[in-house]
Amino acid sequence: MISVKIINKSDLSLPKYKTPGASGMDLMANTQKDIVLHPFERSLIPTGLYIEIPKGFEAQVRARSGLAINYGITVINGIGTIDSDYRGEIKVPLINLGEEDFIIKHGDRIAQLVISRFTKVAWNLVEKLTPTFRDTGGFGSTGI
């Protein structure tokens, strides 16, 4: 477990793990008024949270599976990355891919936050890569 500094400028609780095996913590909407997302409309939803992620880590903002499957609400860019040198408010870019309006209210759980370690790479420019069984086979090349 690592320690992450956090500022909470909302009246909502801090993100927390809902079960012992959870890897993500729910982010909640910190809104002054309801936000209506019409089909195929997108909006940047504030959380009121500011974090200081240690070097060597990132925060990932991910869609909540229940919102995605039940209503078509997802994070626009799939997974949003928050770098360790970002100090602004965490805001969640949502899109409504559903067929009906979706209303976001203050305190609604809108996304998940996962803190992950990452490794930086140093490129090793070569003329040839080590062959494998799959080699250059792309999408669907290992079967359906």
Tell me what pLDDT residue 139 has: 74
Tell me what pLDDT residue 44 has: 98
User: What is the CATH code for 5-117?
Assistant: 2.70.40.10
Give dist(CA 73, CA 67) in Å, integer: 5
Give the residue among 91, 66, 56, 63 at the shortest CA–CA distance from 78. Answer: 63
Share of the chain above pLDDT 90, in %: 89
| Domain map (residue ranges) of the chain | 5-117
What number is the average pLDDT over the span 38-63? 98
pLDDT band of 47, cuts 50, 70, 90: very high
- Which token pair is 3? 């320690």
Quote the pTM value.
0.88
CA atoms in the 13 A half-sphere facing the CB of 26: 15
Strand partners for 45: 92
Q: What is the mean pLDDT of the chain?
A: 95
Tell me what pLDDT residue 136 has: 76
Provide CB contacts within 8 A for 139, sequence distance 6+: none
Mind listing the pLDDT tens digit for each residue in 86-143?
999 999 999 999 999 999 999 999 999 999 999 999 999 999 999 888 777 777 766 6
CA atoms in the 13 A half-sphere facing the CB of 71: 21
Residue 71's CB: how many other CB atoms inside 10 A? 17
- Length of the chain in residues, anyone? 144
